Amino acid sequence: MTAADLRRKYLEFFQSKGHAVISGKSLIPENDPTVLFNTAGMQPLVPYLLGEKHPLGNRLVDVQKCVRTGDIDEVGDPSHLTFFEMLGNWSLGDYFKKDAIAYSYEFLTSKQWLGIDPKKLWVTVFAGEPGIPRDEDSADLWKSHGIPESRISYLPRKDNWWGPAGATGPCGPDSEMFYDTGRVCPKGEGCEGPACNCRKWLEIWNDVFMQYNKDSDGNYVLLAKPNVDTGMGVERTSTILQGKLSVYETELFTPIIAAVEKASGYRYGTDEAHDTYVRVVCDHVKTSCFILGDDLGVKPSNVGQGYVLRKLIRRAVRNGRKLGVTEPFLKGPAAAVLAIYRGVYDEIVDRANLIFEELTHEEERFLKTLEHGEKEWEKMLPGLMKNPQKVVSGRTAFKLYDTYGFPVEITTDLATENGLTVDRAGFDEAFSKHQELSKAGADKTFKGGLADHSEMTTALHTATHLMHKALQMVLGDHARQKGSNITPERLRFDFSHEAKMTPEQVAEVEQIVNTQIQRGLPVTMTMMSLQDAKAQGAMALFGEKYEETIKVYRIGDFSMEVCGGPHVENTEGMGHFKIQKEEASSAGVRRIRAVLEHQAP
């Protein structure tokens, strides 16, 4: 069964259970500053999990592109990836544990669907903690389907609690499904099942029973209606359905491996350490293609998503060097990635040129960085060799990193070649001090978000619609939204436009928005078909491919935009709109930062 078969079957199965198929969203979250990327299928659905009404009802199913970098150090093993696809089904206050578990069991084991041997399945449930009981309900439900007590593990919060995805948001206990790969655990008979974390057990699906919203004060507030959020990994599930032991043995990776072999001359399967470098390159190049080629794609930079992208590309280059590659080489593997996802994620296929150019450009830039760093190293070397302990201090390694962008791993390689060692603990210390400082800055932006429906965020969201329209009036129809990020303090909006806005244009946009606010316009929502919305001239951003019905927000007679909400009911009292900053974001894209100030009395 191919990944394509799996995606299709999943959607079909849940459609047969009354779920509406919705399109997966951009990798880069809209209006949600709590995370850099969608790390799970539930993220674009946060407003609905918190009670907003979804136009397609209470049962939804989709396939969502996700990027997770939390596990980056494990990438290269058989199952951890930075990019993956998540199959998800949702109950928005509709069914709960009983149906969720029944659906999971049927889809996994029924011959009509995946036909997995039930004897190979283990499940985990929440063990409970003071104030939250052990999840006997889920355990009993699994037993009712024939999973014996001996294959149920009761695990604590660190294993069986999901969310929130960012600092705030919906969360709850979960029940995870594991497949016994048949590998032998190093502990043999002493293996404790999925809690062991050995490679014998592969987690393939997670049913989250969302009962709480964690608010910005850290309180767990019971949701009015509990939801179900499930996530099944396409890559891992394909692996087991194909009888393979590693995601890299599936058609989602083999062509990329072949391309890395071609570029490096290394033959995959020759040596385990080098095979790991190949796998890391494959993973990182795939993720980079999806970040660059997203509808809201970003380019390498030193902040936010651009920084993650830069790190991924540079890690791929470093691993390539370990395979003996010294020239830019990622274009070939990237072409393999695009070919795999043709017809599934055409956004990356359509942006092939941009992806190839950016990858090569960043590779060249990094190779130059390495060259500079190596020169500095050469200059330092005679002094370093005089050190009686033959140790490169943490401070020196950090200086190479901080000033020249020279990775400590490469400093270590060069040191080894010269019979020196690097004081890694000293480097780590300097590095974490540096991280702490940047984290203190980042924390500020991670507060709030869509999960925090404060009045300010909602008002800023409405202000964003007003400004979007005003920008088109002042600059022209081409001024379209490219990204939006709202915190309770400010809105940030990226839009397509070549030149810097003149002070007059900025003032004009402000004036238009403030006039509309003062008019006290009612904000109304209508559900309609995407076709009707377009015909009526609503601004629409994304490829809502499957949705038959979407929400359209009108602000009086002024603006009409396809949007999930929420918005204020009337523009009156929103405050005074002020643009604080207008700057370049990337080629052809400008960025505005604006606030709503308290109205002068």
Measured from the CB atom, is 178 or 493 closer to ligand SER? 178
Nearest CA among 130, 121, 128, 225 for reference residue 182: 121
What are 572's two structure tokens? 């009156």
Shortest Å, Cβ 203 to ligand SER: 9
**Cβ(115)–Cβ(107) below 8 Å:** no
Q: Would you state the structure tokens that stand for residue 198, as one six-digit string? A: 């050995």
C-beta closer to ligand SER: residue 52 or 374: 52
Nearer to ligand SER, 232 or 337 (CB): 232
- 458-471 in b/e form (b: 16+ CB < 10 A) is bbbbbbbbbbbbbb
Q: What is the CA radius of gyration of the chain?
A: 26
Based on CB atoms, which residue is closest to ligand SER, 39 or 514?
39
Which residues make up the interface to ligand SER (CB under 6 A)?
40-42, 88, 162, 206, 208, 229-231
Minimum distance of ligand SER from residue 231's CB (angstroms)? 2
The pair of structure tokens assigned to 16 is: 């047969």
Please say whether the beta carbons of 21 and 41 come within 8 A.
no
> Toward ligand SER, which CB reaches closer, 191 or 195?
195
| Strand, helix or coil for residue 291 | helix
**Least distance to ligand SER from the beta carbon of 47, Å?**
15
Rounded to whole angstroms, the Cα distance separating 27 from 241 reads 26
Query: Looking at beta carbons only, is 124 or 230 nearer to ligand SER?
Result: 230
* Beta carbon of residue 65, minimum distance to ligand SER (angstroms, whole number): 13
Q: Which residues contact 434 (CB under 8 A, 6 or more apart)?
A: 398, 402
Q: Is the dihedral of CA 51, 55, 57, 60 positive or negative?
A: negative
Q: How far is the CB of 166 from ligand SER (least distance, A)?
A: 12
User: Which residue has the CB atom at the shortest distance from ligand SER?
Assistant: 231
506, two tokens: 């900025």
- C-alpha span between 457 and 448 (Å, rounded): 8
| Residue 443 beta carbon to ligand SER: minimum distance, rounded to whole angstroms | 23
DSSP character at residue 596: E
For the CB of residue 161, give the shortest distance to ligand SER in the complex, in Å: 11
Of 159 and 452, nearer to ligand SER (C-beta) is 159
d(CA 305, CA 295): 14
Q: How far is the CB of 100 from ligand SER (least distance, A)?
A: 11
